[in-house]
Amino acid sequence: MFSKKYLLNDLILDAKNLSPRTQILLSGTLYTARDAAHKNIIASLDKNEEPPFPLKNSAIYYCGPSPAAPGQIIGACGPTTSLRMDIFTPRLLKEGVKVFIGKGKRADFVMRDLKKHNALYLSAAGGIAALLSQTVRKAQLLCFKELGTEAVYKLEVEDMPLIVN
């Protein structure tokens, strides 16, 4: 049960050694991005512009956090359905993203591409958004503020419970 702890960089290095259904606790920097943010990121890459955050060896969390209550770091921050991001994943893998976090199944081509790039898809349990928000130590609005809850946030998490797929 969620006893194997990883810092993001160590997780990336150990990706080949992790079996499906391995339960981990992840600590490190994650960038939130849902559908609209993915479209903007890909559009910037297509224009040969710098992406809004470093993609190489990064982790993208398919999440649109709700606003923080007074005195809180972040509101609820549960995962969204990953399948909707499948069309963007091959390009992001080519750009060096190594970890994707969401919920639900991925297309077969995505799972093959993840293996090819030695990258990981991790599941966060749906329905526990309040618990997941307790793992967030820092949250910073990074870009695409106009997208509201689909804006990109930089999150520093500690011991986020996730499952390897």
Question: Would you name the residues annotated as active-site residues?
Answer: 38
Tallying the residues shown for the chain, one arrives at: 165
Q: Are strands 136-143 and 99-102 parallel, antiparallel or unpaired?
A: unpaired
> How far does the chain reach from its first CA to its final CA, in angstroms?
15
Q: Cα torsion at 53, 119, 5, 22 (round to 10°)?
A: 140
Token pair for 54:
């470093």
Give the number of other CB atoms < 10 A from CB of residue 101. Answer: 23
Residue 28 main-chain phi, psi, to 5 deg = 145, -160
Residue 21: φ, ψ to 5°? 75, 5
Class of residue 30 by CB neighbours under 10 A (exposed 0-12, middle 13-18, buried 19+): buried
